[in-house]
Amino acid sequence: MYCPSCGKEVKEGAIFCPHCGSKITLRENFLMVTTPTIPGYKIVKVLGVVTGLTPRTRGVLGKFIASFQTIKGGEITAFTTELEKARQEAMERVKQKAMEMGANAVVGLDIETSDLGLQAGITVISVTGTAVIVEPEQ
């Protein structure tokens, strides 16, 4: 969890940020969707584009394990867990940036993966969306 004021990491359940003293407000109903709209809600304000990036690589041990898994074929679980962590981290960064802008939702979420091409095994997870304020339709 991150402070919506200063962006620094704070412990779960914190009421105030230990870095800047701001009150931590949890947004339990924060919505993130890949669609341009959210059924049952209307967009009342568009705040702008938000992006979260996470470059990742496996350490020597992870690459060693993956090399054995490639011999037998199938899923490379040494990379699956790392990519899943990277996806969650990039999405959390988008959410935090949107919350800092005052949004309560992100629409048009796009998740992409690419290789940096440096032959270093670095994969980048990029998550982009539009921070918006929505309210329930009546």
What are the residues facing 123 on neighbouring strands? 56, 115
Task: Specify the pLDDT at position 51.
Answer: 97
Specify the pLDDT at position 8. Answer: 72
User: Which residue range forms the structural domain that includes residue 130?
Assistant: 31-136
pLDDT of residue 1: 63
- Give me the CATH number covering residue 119: 3.30.110.70
pTM higher than the cut 0.85: no
Give the percent of the chain with pLDDT over 90: 42
User: Number of structural domains, the chain?
Assistant: 1
Q: pLDDT: is 74 or 94 the higher one?
A: 94
**Beta strands 41-56 and 105-115, pairing class:** unpaired
In 3D space, the residue among 105, 108, 93, 97 whose CA is nearest the CA of residue 132 turns out to be: 105
For the beta carbon of residue 25, count every other beta carbon within 10 angstroms: 8
**Average pLDDT of the residues in 92-114:** 93
The DSSP symbol for 112 reads E
The mean pLDDT of 37-66, rounded to a whole number, is: 80
Is pLDDT of 68 > 60?
no
Mean pLDDT over each residue of the chain, to the nearest integer = 80
Question: 107 near 129, Cβ under 8 Å?
Answer: yes
Does the residue 58 lie in any domain? yes
The pLDDT of residue 111 is above 60:
yes
| Count of beta carbons in the 10 Å neighbourhood of residue 104 | 19
Residue 92 Cα distances to 1, 22, 23, 51, 123, angstroms: 8, 20, 19, 10, 18
- Each residue's pLDDT tens digit, 20-45: 777 666 555 799 999 999 999 999 99
Asked, for residue 51, whether it belongs to a domain, the answer is: yes
